[in-house]
Amino acid sequence: MIRVLGMMSGTSMDGVDAALIETDGIRIGAFGRSAFRATSANEAAVLRAALGRWPGDPGVAEAARLSEDAHIALACDFPEAELIGYHGQTLAHDPRGRGTHQAGSGVRLAARTGRPVVWDFRTEDVRQGGEGAPLAPFFHWACAVWALERGLIQPAPLAFLNLGGVGNITWVDPLAPAPEAPGACLAFDTGPANAPLNDLMQTRRGLALDRDGALAGAGRPDQVALARFLADPWFDRPPPKSLDRDHFAALPELVAALPDADAAATMVAAIAASVRAGLRWLPSVPQAMLVCGGGRRNPAIMAALASDMPIAVLPVESAGLDGDMLEAQAFGWLAVRVLRGLPTSGPDTTAAPSPICGGRISQPRVTQPRVTVATSHCS
């Protein structure tokens, strides 16, 4: 087992999650402590200015440096970590076009933290024909196995729904021998989640988010706008499939004429409708849907999900897991898999042609051929 620090900054751009996990890249030995570093308003403005841009474009170098500095500062609070998994900040995702772009270099993180860093998790998957996302599904399988071993779930398929900037769902069979085994996992992005709602709150109210779903809870969804949203061809495309943060750019336009509360309520209804539309692609009805990510803290979103849903919708904490840190933990677990040469994605999660091990390893000193336990010397 390796003590690894997973670090994640998602498309909601609210901050950096960091979480320790002990793992061999297959089983979860133990979950460790975690921390969160919030993104300041000025930092968020730098990141937003670089959205949709590619290496070499204006503003990208500044966003990359900001991402590196924020992760270095947080990583230095975890000297016990032997390895770091660094996702970077997604600025653009176009797997059938220019590729995928996560700003930030693991080379600099390794040099500054004194630990080996696994990073650039998505590029190889896209290079080989995959979508490059979602990448947490194999870890969801490990979480389901962990929960099953502790009697927290039943020995039956389970669904994980992550509501970050974009929504994604994973159907897992905890009885499968490995996450890359045929029939073990099916995963895909469902549609928008917190990103457009947060953008709406920033634009109309100058707020980072609809805290406690207060605004959406006071409004009523516009059914005409919702029907137009669901007419997007995305929903008829079979999985696996993945989305750029701003794929549904028409959604803000659909609610532009609505009062603030009704606009927020319509966006919440769109999140839930996206998930319901995705249920038809699941191989079988799961025992429950466990919700993780920031969206599970919004009562309006959780109520909309539970309405007319054919299965129980529960926060992932009901299975003994941490919904705030699941993605950070995932990239720690994936880092160990990269270190061991194990698959991190496959045909049923990213549409890759075969199981793929994607990721780069940067050592704190280039002369080191393999990972070694190093003492942090952050400076």
Residue 28 resides in a domain: yes
Q: Are residues 124 and 175 in the same domain?
A: no
Q: Are residues 126 and 6 in the same domain?
A: yes
Residue 371 resides in a domain: no
Q: Are residues 127 and 156 in the same domain?
A: no
pLDDT grade for 378, boundaries at 50, 70 and 90:
low
Q: Are residues 144 and 292 in the same domain?
A: yes
CA distance 332 to 54: 26
CA distance 223 to 96: 32
Between 150 and 165, the more confident residue is 150
Q: 267 phi and psi, to 5 degrees?
A: -65, -40
Residue 369 resides in a domain: no
Q: Are residues 195 and 334 in the same domain?
A: no
Residue 367 resides in a domain: no
Structural domain for 187, as ranges? 137-319
Residue 370 resides in a domain: no
CA distance 116 to 122: 18
Residue 200 resides in a domain: yes
- What does the pLDDT read at residue 360? 96
CA distance 322 to 317: 6
Residue 106 resides in a domain: yes
Q: Are residues 168 and 249 in the same domain?
A: yes
Q: Are residues 11 and 81 in the same domain?
A: yes
pLDDT grade for 373, boundaries at 50, 70 and 90:
very low
Residue 344, C-beta contacts closer than 8 angstroms, at least 6 positions apart:
121, 125, 135, 138, 334, 337, 338, 356, 357, 358, 359
Residue 24 resides in a domain: yes
Check whether 174 has a pLDDT greater than 90.
Answer: yes
Q: Are residues 287 and 336 in the same domain?
A: no
- What does the pLDDT read at residue 97? 86
Check whether 234 has a pLDDT greater than 50.
Answer: yes
pLDDT digits (tens, 9 = 90+) for 316-343: 999 999 999 999 999 999 999 999 999 9
Q: Are residues 128 and 145 in the same domain?
A: no
Check whether 247 has a pLDDT greater than 90.
Answer: no
Mutual angle of helices 60-75 and 41-50, in 10-degree steps: 130
CA distance 82 to 140: 23
pLDDT grade for 375, boundaries at 50, 70 and 90:
very low
Instruction: Work out how many domains the chain is built from and give that number.
Output: 2
Q: Are residues 162 and 42 in the same domain?
A: no
- What does the pLDDT read at residue 246? 78
CATH number at residue 74: 3.30.420.40
